[in-house]
Amino acid sequence: MASGRVCVRRYSSPIEANIVRGLLEEAGIPVQLEGEALVGAYAGLAKIGDVRLLVRARDEATARGLIEDYEQRESGPEWICNSCGESNGARFEVCWRCAAPAGTAPGGANA
């Protein structure tokens, strides 16, 4: 483990780990990933380990709180776009298909 850093979360997907890394870095928390190259890099290979998110010990509580908020949003209910009828995951603030904001009434007006 890197000196002075603690593991705040493990992910089996390097993509998910990098999404959370971006979230934490946007909040001013430096992140180091360990094991990223060992997880799912090549199709057909067995998973060797998890990707570990490491932060400074002083950032641990804040990082865990941000990760918890992110994961709660991720597990929320999907919403249906009023403009195009597409189903969108809870974490999306705009429709991935037509870019209408969540809560937009049919015809493009905000609800």
Give the count of domains, the chain: 2
Are 21 and 66 in a shared domain? yes
- For the four alpha carbons of 22, 34, 14 and 90, in that order, the dihedral sign comes to negative
Are 84 and 35 in a shared domain? no
Kindly give the confidence (pLDDT) of every residue in the chain, 111 residues in length, as a single tens digit, with 9 standing for 90 and above: 456 999 999 998 888 899 899 999 999 999 999 988 776 555 555 556 789 999 999 999 999 999 998 888 766 788 899 999 999 887 788 898 999 998 875 554 444
Are 103 and 67 in a shared domain? no
Rg of the chain, C-alpha, whole Å:
18
Are 21 and 52 in a shared domain? yes
Q: Is 70 exposed, middle or buried (0-12, 13-18, 19+ CB in 10 A)?
A: middle
Are 12 and 66 in a shared domain? yes
CATH number for the domain including 27?
Answer: 3.30.70.1530
What pLDDT does residue 60 have? 97
What pLDDT does residue 50 have? 87
What pLDDT does residue 90 have? 79
Q: What phi and psi, each to the nearest 5 degrees, are found at residue 32?
A: -120, 135
Are 40 and 80 in a shared domain? no
